[in-house]
Structure 1
Amino acid sequence: MKIGATTRTIAIVTVIVSAILGSSNLLGDSAPDDRDPPARSAARVDDRPGSGGYDPDAVRGNRHRGSADDRPAPRATPSSGARGRQQADGEPAPQADSAPKPDVPGGVPPQQAGPPLPAFFNQQVVVGPGKPPLLPDKEGPFGSRLTTGTLQVALTFDDGPDPKYTPEVLGLLDEYGVKATFCLVGEMAAQFPDLVREIVDKGHTLCNHTWNHDVELGTKTKAVIRSDLARTNDAIHAAVPDAKISYFRHPGGAWTQAAVDVAKEFGMSSLHWTVDTQDWTKPGAKVIEKTLATDTALGSIVLMHDAGGEREGTVTALKAILPELEKRFALAALPPGVDEPRLHGRDLPLHRGQR
């Protein structure tokens, strides 16, 4: 059959049109691969002007170990009863190289946001003459403090002073220029007054930790609690008459309303903690070090021990972790408070601390 000129022309045009349409389809299929996905082209949240580099909720005590979505289940922090409940069975130990990230724009850890803050506390936490230096914390047991109320981290040491371990801890703190808070047991302070003087002379803050670490003290009458705290303060003042004792920590974290109320009568803030190293169980230096590296965040109050037993693990862990903590955070002693001016402002400067 002969093909006419018209038919041949139509066939050629059809082939050309089909080729053009085919090329267009190929180009259309490849277009999505050449474009950035929407998430890439959108502006980063942490690049916005005024975006913060820390989580203010962590400072207020709402989140101490980062976002709930990216951290392992935290160890239980005792709000009453004996301190130091162990991790749940099967819960993995925290790893130093998997520190939780705070829930902040862009996931920037707070310790990486800008240069370290000065190692002194915001004076706004001092609430006035003759009053405890820290306001009650509504999230703490019976209003005891879970956090510092500032961006600084407070290292605290319990059960001392001890003739072997307290000097070692003081030496390490001196080496890095770090001030801390020491919660003293009255009978130990009476036995080692020179160590009490050394603690004060080096600029550390003092805390009353009862006469003989009576975990059940808070369940007793207010008169008994009052006598115990007064006896402990007297032992500290026998070593350093003008020492400011602005904090009280109940043994074992076994807080009661009565204990908190009596401490307030003495002008002392009740001091709980954010990070429990559980070093009193002697888990080993590496475990203590990992807990410090993983759990410490802005505003943390860190619980350790410089006495009450063998504390080689604590000293070894502190020696290893202090350089890292000092780089990540501003470490400072808790503020000792403000004295009332004797001559209505003429006797200046004001002396910080409780009378």
Structure 2
Amino acid sequence: MTYVRRFALVCALGALGVGATACGGGGGSAGHPARKVVSAPASAAPSRPPTLAPGPAGLTPVFKSAAHSPVRTVALTFDADMTADEGPRAAAGEHFDNPALIATLRRLKVPATVFMTGRWADEYPAEARSIGADPLFEVANHSYSHYAFTGDCYGLPTVPPARMRSDVERAFTAFRKAGVKRTVPYFRFPGGCYDQRALRALTPAGVTAVQWDVVSGDAFATDSDAVAQQVLDGVRPGSVVVMHCTRSAAPATERAVRAVVPKLRERGYRFVRVSELIGTAAGRPSR
């Protein structure tokens, strides 16, 4: 079974409460302690978005959601996945981008955070630049290679510990090369898999790791109604929803978003970027 199909299966089980940890409920570090939220300088973006304080022993901090938030805010996040070895598939016509999804978010005026791999930015520089220039969005780091930072992560190849930091920094370099302006110092582990070794390796990079508490189940899904319902059932105030910005791997996502957005707005939810969600948790005023 391929990585993406296994990911979809595990996430679908997660919706039923079965083994959802690796889908982002707690990442690859079960029982990871909550992090204190602080406002810290971030060299990756001139707007200095909020970050989390380092964890015990200076480990990279992890943000999952703004649980128990008193206001109805929700962050939709989209992983723009492309692994380092998928160039031949793109050359053969496979679409790892999703312009219709970005257009729908713009039309509906939905702020969002796009977790982009550096390889994706290399393949679609004009789209990466357009997303990064739009104040509706912010671009966060999803590694350069989309290789796993732990072993046994949905069949993904692994990044050696000595190259973990450089893989993250290479993605930021790819964003700059593509002309992406609105980058934030947030990082999402490929597959949501991490452990203390990975957190320690990334400490010098100065990023905050961002997981999620709502699995959309959009990976390889064709039933947009089922994806939308899974999101609607899972969202709570302060939630972070993980979705995908890849036509070939998540063909139903754009239709699901069209269903989710008006229904959540009817429930009184306001869509925000991850930076605002962290900032609200830190006590910054909502924008």
- TM-score of the superposed pair, with normalisation by structure 2: 0.67
Give the secondary structure class of the aligned counterpart of 1:210: coil
* Residues 187 and 209, structure 2, Cα contact 8 Å, conserved in 1: yes
Aligned residue identity for 2:226: V
Per the TM alignment, residue 135 of structure 1 is displaced from its structure 2 partner at its CA by 2.2
Per the TM alignment, residue 232 of structure 1 is displaced from its structure 2 partner at its CA by 1.1
* Residues 80 and 96, structure 2, Cα contact 8 Å, conserved in 1: no
Give the secondary structure class of the aligned counterpart of 1:211: coil
Give the secondary structure class of the aligned counterpart of 1:255: coil
Aligned residue identity for 1:213: H
The match for 1:291 is 230
- CA deviation map 1:65-104 (0-9, x unaligned): xxxxxxx9635422489x99xxxxxxxxxxxxxxxxxxxx
The match for 1:154 is 75
The match for 2:167 is 228
* Residues 197 and 239, structure 1, Cα contact 8 Å, conserved in 2: yes
* Residues 80 and 253, structure 1, Cα contact 8 Å, conserved in 2: yes
The alpha-carbon distance between structure 1 residues 126 and 199, as it changes in their structure 2 partners (threshold 3 A), is: farther
Give the secondary structure class of the aligned counterpart of 2:64: coil
Aligned residue identity for 2:109: G
* Residues 125 and 178, structure 2, Cα contact 8 Å, conserved in 1: yes
Structure-to-structure mapping, 1:295-306, within 5 angstroms: 295-306=234-245
Give the secondary structure class of the aligned counterpart of 2:147: coil
- 2:59 corresponds to 1:127: no
Larger relative contact order (CA 8 Å, sep ≥ 6): 2
Give the secondary structure class of the aligned counterpart of 1:230: helix
Per the TM alignment, residue 189 of structure 1 is displaced from its structure 2 partner at its CA by 0.6
The match for 1:273 is 212
Deviates more, 1:208-217 or 1:247-256: 208-217
Per the TM alignment, residue 294 of structure 1 is displaced from its structure 2 partner at its CA by 0.6
Give the secondary structure class of the aligned counterpart of 2:162: helix
Per the TM alignment, residue 326 of structure 1 is displaced from its structure 2 partner at its CA by 2.7
Provide the C-alpha distance between the structure 2 equivalents of 1:244 and 1:165, rounded to a whole number of angstroms.
18
* Residues 212 and 242, structure 2, Cα contact 8 Å, conserved in 1: yes
Provide the C-alpha distance between the structure 1 equivalents of 2:197 and 2:182, rounded to a whole number of angstroms.
25
Structure 2 residue ranges without an equivalent (≥5): 1-14, 28-35, 44-48, 83-93, 152-157, 280-287
Provide the C-alpha distance between the structure 2 equivalents of 1:327 and 1:244, rounded to a whole number of angstroms.
31
- CA deviation map 1:89-133 (0-9, x unaligned): xxxxxxxxxxxxxxxxxxxxxxxxxxxxxxxxxxx9552224872
- 2:197 corresponds to 1:254: no
The alpha-carbon distance between structure 1 residues 327 and 246, as it changes in their structure 2 partners (threshold 3 A), is: farther
The alpha-carbon distance between structure 1 residues 282 and 220, as it changes in their structure 2 partners (threshold 3 A), is: same
Per the TM alignment, residue 137 of structure 1 is displaced from its structure 2 partner at its CA by 10
- 2:98 corresponds to 1:166: yes
The match for 1:195 is 127
Q: How many matched pairs?
A: 226
Aligned residue identity for 1:77: A
The alpha-carbon distance between structure 1 residues 201 and 250, as it changes in their structure 2 partners (threshold 3 A), is: same
The match for 2:112 is 180
Aligned residue identity for 1:133: P
1:211 aligned residue (144, 148, 168): 144
Structure 1 residue ranges without an equivalent (≥5): 1-71, 85-123, 339-355
The alpha-carbon distance between structure 1 residues 167 and 73, as it changes in their structure 2 partners (threshold 3 A), is: closer
Provide the C-alpha distance between the structure 2 equivalents of 1:318 and 1:184, rounded to a whole number of angstroms.
19
The match for 2:251 is 312
* Residues 276 and 302, structure 1, Cα contact 8 Å, conserved in 2: yes
- 2:277 corresponds to 1:324: no
* Residues 119 and 171, structure 2, Cα contact 8 Å, conserved in 1: yes
- CA deviation map 1:266-309 (0-9, x unaligned): 22210110001121142521210110111111010000011173
Provide the C-alpha distance between the structure 1 equivalents of 2:109 and 2:18, rounded to a whole number of angstroms.
30
- TM-score of the superposed pair, with normalisation by structure 1: 0.55
* Residues 154 and 300, structure 1, Cα contact 8 Å, conserved in 2: yes
Aligned residue identity for 2:138: T
Aligned residue identity for 2:62: S
* Residues 185 and 207, structure 2, Cα contact 8 Å, conserved in 1: yes
Aligned residue identity for 1:128: A
Q: Which has the larger radius of gyration?
A: 1
